[in-house]
Amino acid sequence: MNKTIYIKDLGSKDFKETWDYQEAVFKSILDTKIKNRRENAGLETSNYFFFVEHPHVYTLGKSGDLSNLLLSEAQLAEKGATFYKINRGGDITYHGPGQIVGYPILDLDNFFTDIHKYLRFLEEVIILTLNDYGLKATRSEGETGVWLDVGTPFARKICAMGVRASRWVTMHGFALNVNSNLGYFDNIIPCGIRGKAVASLNVELGVESVDEEDVKAKLLKHFATLFEAEFKSLNA
């Protein structure tokens, strides 16, 4: 079981370009697993974790409802945003500047073969990170992701999640609002859930901007602890 995870920060990168990159890495791990099964090759599978920030984009999961996008094609162009229907779980969400997106591409055979547990661990990474900033973040039953003030009229989502898995290999991941322009969420019904707001860390802390590198460091610390993993830098 290889618990080393290669980490790479992709910076600001187009969503489709990043999606294609994820797919290539995802396929390389699957190909190794297939070779191992067919030829008993005994090859080690690798694990990866990519941080990225996307330009304004809306993405719709495979089970999502297109009516949850409240903009026409022309209005998307006016806002400088793009739209993609993609192969993760979940409904519609937004990515943009000020948001930390994490894409773990893991062979769960190296950790544990339980998708439910994997999602709960991803949520726990976010919850522990927000706790470091003094925020009491929690889960909301039946709604994947991380929330604030669950069970009150002020419940709001601060981190969305959606993953794809095949042969226990994962892709896609989480999107944590850190210094996000929340106005862009007004153009969708986030995750298909009506009547609930979204949040951003800087707004919750009452500051203009939060150090995103500090947030990433905290995320990696908690991820490494929960998954009992070791991170290594992946050279460009």
Is residue 159 part of the annotated active site? The answer reads no
89 is in an annotated binding site: yes
Domain ranges for the chain: 4-233
Q: Could you say which of 126, 191, 215, 219 is catalytic?
A: 191
Looking at domain 4-233, its CATH architecture is 2-Layer Sandwich (3.30)
pLDDT tens for each residue of the chain, 236 residues long: 899 999 999 999 999 999 999 999 999 999 999 999 999 999 999 999 999 999 999 999 888 888 989 999 899 999 999 999 998 877 888 999 999 999 999 999 999 999 999 999 999 999 999 999 999 999 998 888 999 999 999 999 999 999 999 999 999 999 999 999 999 998 988 665 666 789 999 999 999 999 999 999 999 999 999 999 999 998 65
64 is in an annotated binding site: no
| Burial readout 2-34 (b: 16 or more C-beta within 10 A, e: otherwise) | eeebbbbbbeebebeebbebbeebbeebbebbe
HSE value, Cβ hemisphere, 13 Å, CA-based, for 186: 6
229 is in an annotated binding site: no
